[in-house]
Amino acid sequence: MRKLSVFNSITLDGFFTDSNNDMSAFHRHQDPEWNKFTSENAASGDGALLFGRKTYEMMKSFWPTEQARKQLPKVSEAMDRLEKIVFSTTMKDPGWTNARVVSGNLASEVKKLKAADGGDMLIMGSGSIISQLTKERLIDSYTIVIWPFLLGAGRTMFEGLEEIVDLKKVDEKQFKNGNIVATYELAKR
């Protein structure tokens, strides 16, 4: 069975976007050690990326561009190469290499994807999808990058969560720029 993971950045006060759904604050400080980690991390994937429509459109507006290819070539190449699955009831044509739209019931479609052959799957951004799939206990692990700044307001990835979901920390890395990358797995019930 394929695994489904989350890889997202959050501020120290727990937000993954600001109040306007903007994530650019996470790209303010470029750091060689951090850039190397993100490039190596992106190049190692061979599965599928899952997105909601808004995050997908944001990713599509940057990663297939010349600027992205110059700035982070390994990440740009991986974003083009990997299968991209967009969950949307309004989008018809995803307009990017190796991308397709799925408009059925989110939990049912993800259960089918997890049961199918193929590499593991990753969600980036897409807070409403993360929240819904967390409720259904369909996410196997969460890798969270904690950035050392505060926004004061914004969105969390878990809006609308109605009960406690227990997790177990399985890995942690610290970077000179202050970032902490922590990975948690869904705890056994």
**The domain that contains 58 carries what CATH number?**
3.40.430.10
Tokens of 31: 């750091």
The 10s digit of each residue's pLDDT in 2-49 is 999 999 999 999 999 998 888 888 887 778 898 888 878 776 768 899
- The structural domain count of the chain equals 1
The share of the chain scoring above pLDDT 70, in percent, equals 98
Per-residue pLDDT of 67-107, as tens digits, reads 999 988 888 999 999 999 999 999 999 999 999 999 999 99
Instruction: Work out the mean pLDDT of the chain and round it to a whole number.
Output: 92
The answer on pLDDT for 166 being more than 90 is: yes
Task: Please tell me the pTM assigned to this model.
Answer: 0.91
Range of the domain at 127: 4-186
Buried/exposed 121-135: b ≥16 CB within 10 Å, e otherwise: bbbbbbbbbbbbbbb
Q: What is the pLDDT of residue 75?
A: 87
